[in-house]
Amino acid sequence: EERQIICSGCGVAVQTKDKTGLGYAPPSALERDVITCQRCFRLKHYNEVQDVALTDDDFLKILNGLGKTDALIVKIVDIFDFTGSWLPGLHRFVGGNPVLLVGNKVDLLPKSLNQNRLVNWMKKSAKELGLKPVDVMLMSADKNQGVEEVAAAIDELREGKDVYVVGCTNVGKSTFINQIIKAFGGDSEQLITTSYFPGTTLDMIDIPLDDGSTLYDTPGIINHHQMAHHVDKQELKIITPKKEIKPMNFQLNEGQTLFLGGLVRFDFLKGDRTSFTCYCSNELHIHRTKQEKADQLYEEHLGDLLTPPGPETKSDLPPLVKHSFRVKEEKVDIVFSGLGWVTVNGTHIVLEAYAPKGVEVSIRESLI
């Protein structure tokens, strides 16, 4: 009979199979006298928080829990994957609590990009998605840019109340919390604890604030619409930009097609010769072809020439879904959540874009 091992830190059942799941510990950890899950181990020994993945059911419980608090909610999104990292439904649960929306990973954007436009687009999109944040800010948790400003805004907006930091997995929530812990300096080790999220068995990281209030880091939530769920780890590395994006320019005539790896197909149906600028990972291969050849090319070369996905993951890729766009008088971006976007440097254009089912494709006023 298998013995249930409980983490001495947070009380969760310890498991050694799912590295990103709740209660994970490497098998070697089971040989120690005091057994803790990896998350608690890192917190205790390195003052470092790590995110755990959640089920949908737990996600709902978290949303419910937030509605019962009187607190400031800080919602972190990945600006490179805005709709993919959005937490749908949050607005219905926050009640009267103010929400500060923070866009992370601003270091990936080319310098030519107008950050005010990005903030305005985030405000507009949030409103369309039903959320009215009290403010929208940008930061790079990784490069420690704007983090201090966000911390100051949190301190002002919370008006003495507790703070809940929420976000879906991979937005950089842990990186942000770790920067905040670092800023505390010295004896934070003794101060940081974990507690259960109300109504669940999920633990949160609790960081004490000066006035006796607490900043809670809630577990990260999995969003199934993220591009990240359609490729494997290796491929995810290719599509996730790691440094400042270098825009790639293509002069196209109508009847030409671009493939962004094998994940996105972009058809220029009608319009004068136009330049299209791709903002995506510098490592993602972009392939240009004629539209009349595109179907066959995709059929024959998905997984090799058109990659990611790779030969192993191509059969798991959901079918591509078509999205049609008409560009009228203003310059636009066609945004592929989790992958990047294509700026259309022209007007009076008809386009069709294809992306795997579930991956959001949208149009916005150009940020450049």
Binding site for ligand GDP (CB under 6 A): 51, 104-105, 107-108, 140-143, 167, 169-175, 220
Minimum CB–partner distance for residue 228 and ligand GDP (Å): 10
Minimum CB–partner distance for residue 270 and ligand GDP (Å): 37
- What is the DSSP pairing of strand 286-290 with strand 256-260? antiparallel
User: What's the half-sphere exposure (Cβ side, CA atoms, 13 Å) at 113?
Assistant: 25
Give 129-135 contacts, CB < 8 A, sequence gap 24+: 129/86, 129/88, 129/91, 130/91, 130/92, 131/75, 131/90, 131/91, 131/99, 131/101, 132/91, 132/99, 133/75, 133/98, 133/99, 133/100, 133/101, 134/98, 134/99, 134/100, 135/100, 135/101
Minimum CB–partner distance for residue 334 and ligand GDP (Å): 22
For ligand GDP, give the closer residue by CB, 111 or 328: 111
For ligand GDP, give the closer residue by CB, 108 or 118: 108
Minimum CB–partner distance for residue 169 and ligand GDP (Å): 4
For ligand GDP, give the closer residue by CB, 104 or 200: 104
Q: 162 to each of 98, 103, 127, 181, how far by Cα in Å?
A: 12, 21, 25, 16
What CA–CA distance (Å, rounded) separates 339 from 264? 9
For ligand GDP, give the closer residue by CB, 140 or 257: 140
Minimum CB–partner distance for residue 272 and ligand GDP (Å): 36
Minimum CB–partner distance for residue 20 and ligand GDP (Å): 9
For ligand GDP, give the closer residue by CB, 170 or 366: 170
For ligand GDP, give the closer residue by CB, 220 or 271: 220
Question: By beta-carbon distance, which residue lies closest to ligand GDP?
Answer: 172
